[in-house]
Structures are given as C-alpha cells and as structure tokens.
C-alpha cells in the first residue's frame, strides 16, 4: 500500500517537473517550446560498449613484463607460460536470449503490415 502511494507520488512529481520545464521552454522559445525535441535519444548501448572498449583495462600494466624485449617471441612465451587459459565469454551454450525459446513453439506470426507490402503509388506527371 505504501509502495503504491510512493509510486503515485513519484509519477505526479515527474509530471509536474516536466510541465515546469515545458513552461520555461515555452517562455524562452515560444509555443514550439512545449513540443518535444524531434531528435532521437542517444543509442546508450552503443555508447556504453564504446566506452568499455576504449577505457584501458585495470591491471593491464601488472600483466605486462617489467623489462626485457617486447617482441612477438616474448608474447608467445608469456602465453605458453600461462597455466590457466582465460575466457572472455562463458560457454553456457546459449548465444542469444532468443535462443532460450522452447523448440516446440512455432515462430511468432508476422504483423499484417509485413505480410502485405503496400501497393505502388501511381506516378504523377
């Protein structure tokens, strides 16, 4: 009961805050300030993956040899000396969440829009 009250209160607060921001935008930009931005939001998954791949890994300097030659031969020797191979991905056998579907189920039906493509429009001359 308290949780429902909390959620309702939070929703009302968010709506009031959005209306307040819209009023401020309308004062500065005119009536178009009430409209939402026509641009799409950022692709957050792409941004997170990009950041993960560009930020240097922790402990990378600990794994590198402190001295000596830094050629292909030393890297190959280091790989041979490792006792346990490291895996980047778990080998659970499931590659994608969609693969978890029961094999007995038929595929989902296509929406009517995809079943019947639109008729070609007559050209205007």
pTM > 0.75: no
CA distances 54 to 47, 61, 97, Å, are 11, 16, 26
CA distance 111 to 11: 33
CA distance 110 to 34: 37
Cβ neighbours for 65, distance < 8 A, ≥ 6 positions apart: 74, 78
Q: What is the pLDDT along the chain (125 residues), one digit of tens a residue?
A: 677 888 889 999 999 998 998 888 888 888 777 777 777 788 889 988 888 888 776 655 555 555 555 555 555 555 555 555 555 655 555 555 555 555 566 666 665 555 555 666 777 66
Strands (E), the chain: none
Positive or negative CA dihedral for 19, 20, 25, 27? positive
């Amino acid at each position: 009961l308290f949780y429902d009250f909390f959620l309702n209160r939070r929703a009302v607060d968010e709506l009031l805050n959005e209306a307040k921001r819209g009023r401020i935008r309308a004062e500065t930009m005119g009536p178009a300030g009430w409209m939402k931005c026509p641009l799409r939001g950022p692709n957050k998954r792409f941004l997170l993956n990009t950041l993960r791949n560009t930020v240097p890994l922790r402990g990378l300097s600990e794994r590198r040899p402190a001295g000596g030659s830094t050629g292909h031969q030393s890297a190959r020797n280091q790989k041979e000396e490792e006792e346990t191979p490291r895996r980047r991905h778990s080998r659970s056998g499931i590659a994608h969440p969609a693969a978890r579907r029961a094999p007995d189920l038929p595929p989902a039906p296509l929406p009517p829009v995809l079943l019947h493509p639109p008729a070609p429009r007559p050209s205007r001359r």
